[in-house]
A and B are shown apart, each in its own frame.
Chain A
Amino acid sequence: MADRSPAPDTPELRERWGAFEFTESYRAKADKAIARYPEGRQRSAVMPLLDLAQRQVGEETDTQGWLPLPVIEYVADYLDMPVIRVLEVATFYFMYNLKPVGKYHVQVCGTTPCMLRGSDGLFETCKQRGMKKGHVSEDGLWTLTEVECMGNCATAPMVQINDDNYEDLTPERLDGILDALAKGESPKTGTQEPGRHTSEPANALSSLPEMVDANHDYRKDW
C-alpha cells in the first residue's frame, strides 16, 4: 500500500510552490467546476479543483503532477474552506499524488483477477526497467505504484499510466508500451489483444449466448 502522507513541509517546498496560482485556463476550469454547485456550497468542488491543481503542477514539472502542501493550501484558500478538510480529501483518494511522481505514473493492478492473469510478470517487467514501487526512476520518467482493482477485470491484467488504461497485457506488450512512451509516442490505449475492441469476450461466447441478437428472458431456465 502506498504511503499516503504528504511530502514534508520544508523551506524548499515552500519556496518552490508557495507562489502557486492557477493559470488562466485552469482558473476558468476551476470556476466552471465551482459554478456547478449552489451559491455558498463552493467547497463541493474540492475534488475537481485538486485534480486541476495536480494537472497544472504536472505541466509545470513535466510529470503526472502531484499536490505539494502549499498547493493544497491554495485550493483551500480558493474555496474558502479549512485546509484540514482539503487534506482529508487529498489523503483519501489515490488519484491525488501526495509525493512527486515521474512523467509516467505506472499503476499496476495487483488485485486477484489481474494477479491470476499474470500481473506478477508485469511487476517483474517494471522492476527490470529499474522501477521501484513508490519511487521515481532515476531518469524521472517512471513511478511505479501497485494499486487495487481498477475495474478492468475482463481484460486483466491491466496497467493505468496517467490518464490511460492498457489492458490484456503480457510482459512483452507492457515493455512495448513503455518503450513507446519513453520515446514520446502515444501507444494504443485499451486492450492490447489483437482483434479485440473493448472488453467483449476474447473467444467464442461462453455465457448469455441467446442475448446476442435480442433480449432474452433467462428466468425460466433458473
Chain B
Amino acid sequence: MMGTVIPMDGVRSQSGRSRPGKVGLWVFLAVVTMLFTLLLFAYLMRMQFADWRALPLPWQLWLSTVLLAASSTALFIAHRCVQRGRWREVRAFVLAGGACAAAFVAGQLWAWQQLAEQHYLVAGNPANSFFYLLTGLHGLHVLGGLIGLALTMARLRRGSEQAGGYVQLCARYWHFLFAVWLVLFTVMGTVTPALARSICGGLLS
C-alpha cells in the first residue's frame, strides 16, 4: 500500500469492484422501481372499486413511446461509440438522445392537453387521477435525467476523462426509464378491474 495513489473518493482499481457511480445508480434504480411498483399496486387496488371508469388512452402516447425508444437507442449507440473512442459521434448521439427525450416529455404533455380538452380532468375519475400521476412522476424522472444528460454533455465538450463513464450511466438510466414506461403503458392499456381483482383482490375488503 505504501506510496499508492488513492483517489479521494476511496475507489480503488481492484478487480471485481465497479465504480461507485454504477453501484449508486443501481441502488437508485431499485428505489425508483420500488416507487413505481407501489404506485402500480395502488393502481390495481384502487381500480377494483365501482367508480373506476377507464379513460381512452390518447394516440399521442404511441408517438411518445416511439420517441423514448429512439432516445434510449441513441444513448445505447452513444455508449458504444464511447467504447470505440469516437467522441464526435458520442456527442451527436447524446444530443439526439436528449432531443428525443425532450420530445417525449412534449408528447406526454400533448397527450395531457388532448385529455383535458375531452374533459378527462385529474379529479374526474380515479382512472384519470392515476393516469396523470403515473405519467407525471415518470415525466419528472425523465426531466431529472435530462439534467444529468446536460451535465454529461458539458463534460463531453470539456473533454473530461470521466465523461465516457457518465454516458454509460445515462444510457443505463434511459433504458430503465423506457422499461418503466413500457410497463406503465402496458398496465394502463391492458389491465381491467377484473384482472386486477385476480392479481391482488381482497387486500382492501
Q: Is B a genuine binding partner of A?
A: no
Chain A positions within 8 Å of B, measured between CB atoms, are none
